[in-house]
Chain A
């Protein structure tokens, strides 16, 4: 896991922390919800070598920017600002300007202005001696990346407010978190019921967040002599049953259940979402739904969720071969036609205990 940890939510003992103010129960504060971001979002920024030069005469700045940009457009580095203010007050020059990327790794030798800027095209009057700087190679996607990038050279930042909120633990309200906890408690309970009958202790619950309704819940059913009936596969099939379909029979496992669809076979909200032009899109029945599962799904289950067009997955504890963060990030996988959000950490401790108790 390489997610950025929320900076302030970790220290619960801190008296300045308002998070636990209203509820005295330590339970409601004993877990944190973490977004499982894509590789691009969670990695540290990478740096490139470039040449910059001090702007000795401030009033030449706009002309210099125009002329230098015409020669070195820095097209692949649109996120970099061309000019930075020198914060160092002792500095004799107020501004510094990015000229161009350094081609090879230069050691010591820095080309002169006339080598970097063709005389006929740039009048380098007003610029000082070039020097080597490190600049971020890609636009920052998250606030932590932005902070890291800006420390090297100023960059523009199109902030994704949702990601920032998620990273600082502010994406979900207290009420939402209480609801999440209840769904995960149900998943844990159904996992225990499955484990009592010899299955792996994994439980899952499908929720329609629009109605807050639990649609289906199920546990691992491998003991029924089908090594592929992981909790996610069971739950996907239970949602199919709800729609009048389904491939498996769970009669011998009463805890694997679904709430019958009120509107009958085809009229659920999720199916309607895609129902333009009157065509049926029933196989994608998980569109718009959330899955709560006690532990991170494996590769088969994660891809089954892609095929089922899940909206969000919340899991308690990571798995060694997990495909939603640990070994793969199927939910952000490039080339796949459906992406979704993943969060981990809900009742993590209880979900971890579940695994230890029944192992």
Chain B
């Protein structure tokens, strides 16, 4: 298997996720980037699409999931089997909603950068990833902390710049105690 090789691969996928997050930041979007990797192939990648779709649930992870589903349709693959062998690489800890979605899809492993202090579903606010929920898919494993400081810095930069879509007072208030 070769743990070193595995780690190097992981590193490459995470670098790609960070590249996407930076791109999002450059375009005034929430700087979260993610990849869904199956058999060494990127089947889905996502960035936040809340504004375009006017749907507050269109987080990067949900967008990537739809791409994987589309790939499954095109390639006549069973999505259940594909997701069970897919790893998610994401710059920020998935929120509670996305963690719920990842459970329902039975994704086994999530590699992420920094904690999500506001909404995190892998330990920060709740631990949906690990909780005992028999009717909600399966729990999943997390590897956290890859370039965490950089991911936090990007989020901070984003929340400091004008974000017309955040309810103002709350976004600011929370921001200041996130240091």
Contacts and interface: CB of A to CB of B under 8 A. Distances in A.
Interface of A: 225-228, 233, 236-237, 240, 243-247, 274, 279-286, 298-301, 303-304, 306-309, 319-321, 323, 327-328, 330, 333, 335-337
B54 interface: yes
Interface in B18-75: 49-58, 62, 65-66, 69, 72-73
Contact of A279 (B52, B72, B164): B164
Nearest to B97: A303
B162 to A, nearest CB: 9
Q: Identify whether the interface residues of A are mostly helix, strand, loop, or mixed.
A: loop
Contact of B62 (A228, A319, A321): A228
Given A281-B165, A298-B136, A335 B100 contact: no
Contact of B55 (A245, A328, A333): A245
A138 B31 CA distance: 42
Given A284-B165, A299-B103, 9 more contacts: A225-B79, A227-B105, A245-B55, A246-B55, A284-B167, A285-B54, A307-B97, A320-B135, A333-B126
Contacts of B96: 299, 303, 306, 330
A284 B105 CA distance: 26
A328 B167 CA distance: 25
B91 to A, nearest CB: 19
Given A274-B167, A303-B97, A228 B105 contact: yes
29 contacts: A225-B69, A225-B73, A225-B79, A226-B69, A227-B80, A227-B105, A228-B62, A228-B104, A236-B56, A237-B53, A245-B54, A247-B55, A247-B58, A283-B54, A283-B56, A284-B165, A285-B56, A298-B135, A299-B96, A299-B136, A300-B97, A303-B96, A303-B121, A306-B97, A307-B57, A328-B126, A336-B119, A336-B125, A337-B170
Interface residues of B, number: 44
Contacts of B101: 228, 300
B174 interface: yes
A299 B127 CA distance: 11
B80 to A, nearest CB: 8
Interface in B138-177: 164-165, 167, 170, 174
A227 B53 contact: no
A283 B51 contact: yes
Nearest to A271: B54
Contacts of A283: 50-51, 54-56, 165
